[in-house]
Amino acid sequence: MTPGAMLDGSRCTFRVWAPEAGAVHLKLEGGQGQCVPMASSTGGYFTATVEGVHAGQLYRYQVAEHAWPDPCSRFQPEGPHGPSQVVDRRAYHWHDQHWGGIALEGAVLYELHVGTFTAEGTFAAATQRLGHLKALGVNAVEIMPVAECPGRFNWGYDGVGWFAPSHNYGPYDAFKAFVDAAHAQGIGVVLDVVYNHFGPDGNYASAFSPYYQGSRNTEWGGALNYDGRHCAAVREMVVANAWEWISQFHLDGLRLDAIQSIFDDSRPHIIAELAAAARAAAGGRRILVIAEDETQRGTWLLPAGQGGAGLDGMWNDDFHHAAMVAATGRREAYYHDYLGTPQEFVSAAKRGFLYQGQYYPWQDKARGTPVHTRSMHFVACLQNHDQVANSLEGKRLHQQASPGLCRALTAMLLLGPQTPMLFMGQEFHASAPFLFFADHEQPLRQQVHAGRSEFLSQFPGMGAKDARGLVADPADEATFRRCKLDWSECSDDSPALRLHQDLLALRREDPVIRGQGRGGFDGAVLGEQALLLRWFGGGDDRLLIINLGADLRERPMPEPLLAPPAGRRWSLVWSSENTRYGGSGTVDPGLDSGGLVPGHSAMLLRAVEGDSHVQA
Residue 337 annotated in active site:
no
The DSSP result for 397-418, as a single string, is GGGTS-HHHHHHHHHHHHHSSS
The bridge status of strand 221-224 relative to strand 213-218 is antiparallel
Residue 160, amino acid: V
| Residue among 252, 257, 318, 439 flagged as catalytic | 257
List Cβ neighbours of 606 (8 Å cut-off, separation of 6 or more): 540, 541, 542, 543, 570, 571, 573
Residue pair 100/146 in contact by the 8 Å Cβ criterion: no
Residue 257 annotated in active site:
yes
Which conformational region is residue 170 in: left (phi greater than 0), alpha (psi within -120 to 50 degrees), or beta?
Answer: left
**Which residue from 304, 306, 336, 338 is spatially nearest to 322, judged by alpha carbons?**
338
Please list the residues that pair with 542 across neighbouring strands.
535, 606
Q: Is 309 exposed, middle or buried (0-12, 13-18, 19+ CB in 10 A)?
A: buried
Q: Is 321 exposed, middle or buried (0-12, 13-18, 19+ CB in 10 A)?
A: buried
| Residue among 173, 201, 292, 427 flagged as catalytic | 292
The bridge status of strand 39-40 relative to strand 378-381 is unpaired
Residue pair 2/240 in contact by the 8 Å Cβ criterion: yes
- Ramachandran angles phi, psi of 551, nearest 5°: -50, 135
> How far apart (Å, rounded) are the C-alpha atoms in residues 424 and 428?
9
> How far apart (Å, rounded) are the C-alpha atoms in residues 409 and 395?
17
Tell me if residue 388 falls in helix, strand or coil: helix
**Which residue from 43, 129, 105, 179 is spatially nearest to 518, judged by alpha carbons?**
105
> How far apart (Å, rounded) are the C-alpha atoms in residues 48 and 57?
15
The bridge status of strand 58-63 relative to strand 24-28 is antiparallel
**Which residue from 411, 579, 426 is spatially nearest to 495, judged by alpha carbons?**
579
Residue pair 533/351 in contact by the 8 Å Cβ criterion: no
> How far apart (Å, rounded) are the C-alpha atoms in residues 268 and 573?
49
Show which residues are catalytic.
Answer: 257, 292
